[in-house]
Structure 1
Amino acid sequence: MKDRVRQKLLVTGATGFVGNALLKRLVDDGRFTLLAGVRRSNTCNFPSVEPVPMGDIDAGGNWLSALQGVDQILHTAARVHVMHDSSSDPLNEFRRVNVDGTLNLARQAAKAGVRRFIFISSIKVNGEGTLEGGAYCADDNPQPVDFYGISKMEAEQGLRALMDETGMEVVIIRPPMVYGPGVKANFLTMMRWLHKGVPLPFGAIYNRRSLVALDNLIDLLVTCVDHPAAANQTFLVSDGEDLSTTELLRRLSIALGKPSYLLPIPSIILEAGAAILRKRALSQRLCGSLQVDIDKTRDLLSWNPPVGVDQALRNTAKHFLEQQFK
């Protein structure tokens, strides 16, 4: 009878890049009673959504009373990957939030009778890059390289063990780089360069990388709320069209309404320079390939990305330009 009543959903990380967009989509959907997991009670942007102050998500949090009556949790809160981590023990910091906090929340969810726990993981659980002609699949053996990827893998392992122990359904989604209106980090930096007309040495990079537009990721998350076949599965997600760094920059320039000035520097030279400057990780993101196979997601859920790459880039660029002239 559960699917015939109005389900109560809790979205953690509700003020974050993914969490805020997810809440907006669920509010517009109108079928759910919604709770927003926030640090403080006054930080929820949606009047129809009940804020749930959660503080830090770690091993010490107690949210059992707030979880009573919740049907599903969409767990987007995390300590995210950062390029320049100043922590003295970054692996421990990632584990504190992404492993200990996630599993503490999940155990309390199972105790409170939550039916399904949807976890945003990362493609970094699979690894940092694919060879030419290859792509990561959802059921590949994990090969994380950095601390963030390791913490997400350990969280997945703990969730699967809890699933077997308690019967609570677990859904794991591993996105690659997510972009969309309000995107930060490297993608925002690229838009700033292109908007200013800065010449960039990325005109001859022939890699292939999977990305996912925020709207496409959100659509998959909402699909997993409803779909019975999503239970206890791991899914990869992308836009369904892989781009080289050069092609991405050219198409993003068009979306911004700006010409691109991409110098055709061979990637081998860029990689050598990055090695000298100890920027191998950045070089891998710019020059290396990382492709994901979403056939399992398509087949099991009858899901396809609803938004094409060019439309998603236009949406992203439009928001960026609006912020420039505020």
Structure 2
Amino acid sequence: MKVRILVTGATGYIGRACVRAFAAAGWTVRAASRAGDSVEGAAEGVAIGALSGQTDWTDALCGVDVVLHLAGVAHRPQTEDRTYRDVNVDGTAQLARSAVRAGVLRFVFLSSISVHGRRPGGGRIDEATPLAAEDAYGRSKANAERAVADAAAGERMTWTVVRPPLVYGPAAPGNFRRLVGLVRRGVPLPLRGAKAPRSYIGLDNLVSALICAATHPAAANRAFVVADDEDVGTADLIRLISDAMGRPARLWWIPEHLLRVVAAVVGRGGAAERLLDPLQVDCRQIMDALGWQPPLGLREGVRRAVLLK
């Protein structure tokens, strides 16, 4: 009998890739989204409306064995703390409690490396690193993790949390897409000195880790950080993007402190931190416990992200 999985946020960038991958692996996929739009690979779509502490999950969870919860509010300028709490925390708690009542066996929650905060002085982040989120988004993800664990405590349902760094892939949102667009247009970038090593994860690698989290017995009631097999500075990431396009990397240098000042003045201080600060992830635990390995290396992942639509 096929395993039945509910994927929330199924029409999103990561959601669509997960629906296709789980369906290709033989799962019966129910795609949950605000309007219940059809998604390639899904056996059916279900409309759940707005994600909140009052969302009715009864129909969406009927007959479901596994929940993959991807829906939520990510980094958005001017988003109020209350919105993060209502959607990411209360909405996740409501889904987790509903999943317990519906007899779901495994709840997989996509969190974020942001729950650990920044480590400007270096040092790798692993599962033992304290939760020290520094913004409303990271705090909401950390609180949502606790809500899932609390809902499952003493119940049959187990949970798994996956914490990725920046996710890149074809048409990825955020900083990666902006970098690709700038390189494609030949815009000179003042990031030659951005050499602090950073971890990333390709979309294919993240989907692979989520499938592992949904299926492996040893993933029960554990949180895992995940990343690609190589760390690079932003300057080298730009060079990889340029190489994949067959274009020159038009990098030039200005002092890092000046970049940070300018970014702060124009309200992009957070974006500058994500380009300039070190952020390295040690994902040996998921490799040792679940036998997971990223299917694609960084260079191949970037090549596919740039060239595929």
Instruction: Please list every run of 5 or more consecutive structure 1 residues that lacks an aligned counterpart in the other structure.
Output: none
Structure 2 residue 75 is matched with structure 1 residue 81: yes
Deviations 1:133-191 (A, max 9, x none): x1111132200001000100111111111221423101000110001012122211111
Residue 276 (structure 2) aligns with: 287
Give the one of 88, 96, 113 matched to 1:123: 113
Shift of the alpha carbon at 1:245?
Answer: 0.8
1:35 partnered with 2:30:
yes
Q: Which residue of structure 2 lines up, in the alignment, with residue 8 of structure 1?
A: 4
| CA deviation map 1:9-64 (0-9, x unaligned) | 1101000011100001112222x1111112223x1122652111111111111112
Aligned 8 A contact 2:64 2:104 in 1? yes
| 3-state SS of 2:263 partner | helix
Match of 2:94 in 1: 104
- C-alpha displacement of 1:228: 0.3
Q: For residue 22 of structure 2, what is the aligned residue in structure 1?
A: 26
Give the whole-Å Cα distance in 1 for the aligned partners of 2:29 and 2:121: 42
Once the two structures are superposed, the pairs formed by residues 232-243 of structure 1 within 5 Å of their partners are 232-243=221-232
Could you tell me the TM-score, scaled by structure 2's length? 0.96
**What's the % identity of the aligned pairs?**
37
* 2:19–2:39 CA contact under 8 A, matched in 1: no
Query: Alpha-carbon deviation of 1:278?
Result: 4.7
The residue that corresponds to 1:251 in the other structure is: 240
* 1:1-326 equivalent positions in 2, closer than 5 A: 5-30=1-26, 32-41=27-36, 43-46=37-40, 49-82=43-76, 84-85=77-78, 87=79, 90-132=80-122, 134-319=123-308
Letter of the structure 1 residue corresponding to residue 162 of structure 2 = I
- When the two chains are superposed, the root-mean-square deviation of aligned CA atoms in Å is 1.5
Count of aligned positions: 309
Alpha-carbon contact 1:130-1:136 (below 8 Å) kept: no
Q: Distance in 2 between matches of 1:130 and 1:47?
A: 42
Aligned residue for 2:228, secondary structure, equals coil
- Does the Cα contact within 8 Å between 1:130 and 1:291 map onto a contact in 2? no
Q: So what's the TM-score if we normalise by structure 1?
A: 0.91
Unmatched tracts of structure 2, length 5 or more? none
